[in-house]
Structure 1
Amino acid sequence: MDMFRLDGQTALVTGAGSGIGQAIAIGLAEAGADVGCFSRATSAGLAETIERIEALGRRAIRLTGSVTDEQDLTAAVETLEAEAGPLTVAVNSAGIASAYPAEDMPIEAWQQVVDTNYTGLFKSCRVEARAMFGNGGGSIVNISSMSGWIANRGLTQAHYNSSKAAVSHLTRSLATEWCDRGVRVNAISPGYTLSPMNKRPEVATQRQQFADETPMQRLAEVEEMIGPAVFFASRASSFCTGSDLVVDGGFVCW
């Protein structure tokens, strides 16, 4: 269906070097977009992302930096637009996680998660929006988490949970501010997903617990976030802004 196509669009994906961000970057290219792939310079998977996009016949632009640095983000958008055309789609997937009991959590650990997941995403959104305002509009998709809706049983991650709750509400706030300038802002809240973090052998027991507690009795594959991202990026969601789509196999229903 043509309304889901992204032909002629230029997209930016943060966190494109691994996991959900990598899958979505490739998925946007499958839908027809040229993609700027933004990640830290040390990301081992960024080259693979670019190689897989180029194998689809789409342009992939390597962009490196930190979402905590607005200058890095601004330079990335400028480079992307110079090489691939006006920015019209952005997916903000960069994020980190750690676990500490709240009473023992080093404030540095709290700050690092909040700076990356929340403040870094805010910086990403506004750099992207500033470009889109001059390009006739666009679509921004933020990767939040079901952990912004619930407190995960058995996980000590108050900083992560609250950062993702902030992302979801920031999405609604920005959507209302920017809709009159043609920029839609939506979020996807994945449940437990087979990202590299959850594929580590040392979390095999916990991974099975996550599956057991999910109504669909499994974790998501990273590729299962492509469809929601393409939907929000495309004309198929033209009347959606401020939405937060939970993609969790039914986890929050229990």
Structure 2
Amino acid sequence: MPPIDRTSIHRKFDLSGKTALITGGGRGIGLQIALTLQQAGAGIILTDADGSHLAEAADQFPLKPQVYQLDVTNSKAVGDLAAKIASCPDIMVNNAGVSRAAPTSQTTDEDWRTVLSVNLDGVFYCSRAFGCLMAQRGSGAIANISSMCGEIVTRQQSVVTAYNASKAGVNMVTKTLACEWARFGVRVNAVAPGFVQSEMTGKYPDEVVNAWSDQTPMGRLGQPHEIASAVHFLASDASSYMTGTILLVDGGYTCW
């Protein structure tokens, strides 16, 4: 029996020589994704709507990333950034996202529009600007950050109509673009996290967070690095025959 070629296996996960652009990368899951992709060898382009988050985040990287303040809801700003960057990134992670938790009766037009604008419009604008360039080049990988809430309504957090609708939209955008750009060498996938320990979930009271853990087969919330590892997989050649996939990383929550 021939020996296992571990070098070949590791090479599939190596991102050396590639560049990755991450939106909403100033903190939380986005920052962890950026750090993980740099550890895998990628050059990092970090964007966030909050300039102060960017400045703090940049100091955490062994190799200084390129940083750009970017509002993903502004299609012109997204297009301007695509024109400004010297060459189209090899990897794009659409991570920027927000949530507004309230019963539908208390969800304002502004709340609805904000969530849909950031979570769904932002994914479309960034994918259109950078994905089209990838298609012209003939290669690229896009990883969208969706949510298990794009597929189900959770029991302890069912009052997030706008968030759930936006993530369901992200899933369909992912599948549609995957079909459109597959013949041009561009893969488009999404990671759908369950409940993850982050700034967003940290806003909820302990009894709600404990309920989420109890309702998850693994008995705990996920960690940002566990989501980042899934993104790394989808960005790498290890997932070369995957496109249009919504990869659940939810501790088994959706299995019940």
Q: Which residue of 1 aligns with 2:3?
A: none
Q: How does 1:114-125 map to 2 (within 5 A)?
A: 114-125=116-127
Q: Any unmatched runs of 5+ in structure 1?
A: none
Q: How does 1:134-145 map to 2 (within 5 A)?
A: 134-145=136-147
Alignment-mate amino acid for residue 113 of structure 2: Q
CA distance in 2, matches of 1:104, 1:207: 22
CA distance in 2, matches of 1:121, 1:73: 11
Shift of 1:125: 0.8
Alignment-mate amino acid for residue 48 of structure 1: E
Given the alignment, which residue of 60, 65, 70 partners 1:52?
A: 60
Shift of 1:205: 2.1
CA distance in 2, matches of 1:172, 1:250: 23
Shift of 1:118: 0.7
Q: Is the 8 A contact 1:88 1:135 kept in 2?
A: no
Given the alignment, which residue of 44, 66, 80 partners 1:75?
A: 80
Q: Is the 8 A contact 2:156 2:212 kept in 1?
A: no
Q: Find runs of 4+ consecutive structure 1 residues off by over 4 angstroms.
A: none
| Corresponding residue SS for 2:59 | helix
Q: Which residue of 2 aligns with 1:95?
A: 97
CA distance in 2, matches of 1:27, 1:220: 16
Shift of 1:43: 4.6
CA distance in 1, matches of 2:214, 2:191: 22
Percent of aligned pairs sharing the same letter: 37
Q: Is the 8 A contact 2:88 2:130 kept in 1?
A: no
Q: Any unmatched runs of 5+ in structure 2?
A: 1-9
1:105-133 CA-partner distances (Å, limit 9, x unpaired) = 21221111111111111111111112212
CA distance in 2, matches of 1:114, 1:86: 26
CA distance in 1, matches of 2:84, 2:58: 16
CA distance in 2, matches of 1:230, 1:89: 10
CA distance in 1, matches of 2:206, 2:154: 17
1:45-98 CA-partner distances (Å, limit 9, x unpaired) = 322332222x1x3x4101112001122222323333x2xx44110000000001
Is 1:150–2:152 an aligned residue pair? Answer: yes
- Using structure 1 for the length normalisation, give the TM-score: 0.92
Q: How does 1:3-82 map to 2 (within 5 A)?
A: 3-40=12-49, 42-53=50-61, 55=62, 57=63, 59-80=64-85, 82=86
Q: Which residue of 2 aligns with 1:180?
A: 183
The alpha-carbon distance between structure 1 residues 99 and 199, as it changes in their structure 2 partners (threshold 3 A), is closer
Give the count of matched residue pairs: 246
CA distance in 2, matches of 1:52, 1:78: 27
CA distance in 2, matches of 1:44, 1:249: 33
